[in-house]
Amino acid sequence: MSHSNSIFSQRLKLISRHEFETLAKTRHKGRMLRTMSRGSQFVALSFAQLAGRCSLRDIVSNLDKQRRKSYHLGIAKVSRSSLARINEQQPYPLYEGLFWKRLARCQSLALKDGFRFKNKLYSLDASTID
């Protein structure tokens, strides 16, 4: 049986689970999560952003259709009520801290010599505006 990683799983591999859980333990407030893990919330929200999903019902139905693949991402079944409750109760500092760690890593890997293009550079944007 052949195996290939999806773009989504490759994107998730850029963030180590250990680093995420360490941040989650320091930034988490309130009681322990009962039905969903912080990692499952992160995967669901990352999927929603990458897939352009805008509602909880849309996120959950699309994750449910990909249930066989979600096991390999390390998440269990996601319910709409659990996702709504966790999004409401869990503060944003976890994701803010994750952003700053990723930014620091990208800046440390960036070129230091002031890379420049010799010719004009054109950028194409394929986004649409409603």
Confidence of residue 2 (pLDDT cuts 50, 70, 90): low
**pLDDT at position 37, please?**
79
**pLDDT at position 125, please?**
75
Chain-centroid distance of CA 109 in Å reads 21
**pLDDT at position 127, please?**
73
Average pLDDT over residues 90-114: 83
CB 63 within 8 A of CB 78: yes
**Which of 49-53, 104-108, 110-114, 115-119 shows the lowest per-residue confidence on average (mean pLDDT)?**
110-114
Closest CA to 93 of 27, 32, 12: 27
pLDDT digits (tens, 9 = 90+) for 41-99: 888 888 888 888 889 899 888 888 877 777 677 777 888 888 888 888 877 888 899 99
33: pLDDT strictly greater than 70: no
Beta strand segments in 4-128, E: none
